[in-house]
Amino acid sequence: MSGVGRERFEQRWGGGVVGIGAADVARLVGAVDVPDALAVRHREQALEWLSGTEDVFRREKPATPAPHLVSYVVPTDPSTGRVLLVRHRRAGLWLPPGGHVEPGEHPADAARREVVEELAVGRPRLLDDGRPRFLTWNLTVGPDEHVDVSLWFRLDLADGTVPAWDAAEISAARWWSAEQVRAAPAEGFDRHLPRFLASVEG
């Protein structure tokens, strides 16, 4: 996280509970919904990994250790179902805000921190009682290929709100319906985004 991002988080949110370990994360993972067969497999992979190590937080760039934890946070208007995605400069994809979970950090606090850092959202409120709604065991793209174990949270945000994004990481932000995502070229998004949207529809 940049110094500016950390300052924003401390000023606007104040930090959260720290000091959690693999067993705590495993309890979160075990409670995540599994809407399809791939979700079942990803949860099994994550639980097996968590049962064998305490080294679950990224300590060194680009990917030490691998796998490691990531929190995605999907800004969502519950009344319309539309979601806010950002165009990530490095990945070249439309993605939810998110990033690596810092050592000892609760993944929900990481989700809050990331939307403060990337979108300057003041005192963010997570939906679903602050629980992750989805999980992916995801092989990243690019020169530093590795596995991210990503917990997907939802943020309550009014449709049409376009926060001030971090221009160093993000080139654009826009609201999408599930239908618009499905109609667009799949290679422009995280490969699991359509599955996430299907899991929360209805």
Q: What is the pLDDT of residue 91?
A: 87
What is the architecture, at CATH level 2, of domain 3-200? Alpha-Beta Complex (3.90)
Rounded Cα distance between 201 and 84, Å, is: 15
- Token couple for 80: 């319309």
Reply yes or no on whether the pLDDT at 184 is more than 60. yes
Q: Which of 79, 99, 85, 101 is nearest to 20 (CA)?
A: 101
Reply yes or no on whether the pLDDT at 24 is more than 70. yes
DSSP 60: B
Task: Work out the end-to-end distance of the chain between its first and last CA atoms, rounded to an integer number of angstroms.
Answer: 35
Residue type, 97: P
Reply yes or no on whether the pLDDT at 2 is more than 50. no
Q: Encode pLDDT of 167-176 as tens digits.
A: 999 999 999 9
Question: Global pTM?
Answer: 0.89
Q: Encode pLDDT of 114-157 as tens digits.
A: 999 999 998 899 999 999 999 999 998 777 889 999 999 999 99
pLDDT band at 202 (very low <50, low <70, confident <90, very high): low
Q: Which of 60, 59, 173 is nearest to 115 (CA)?
A: 173
Rounded Cα distance between 22 and 27, Å, is: 9
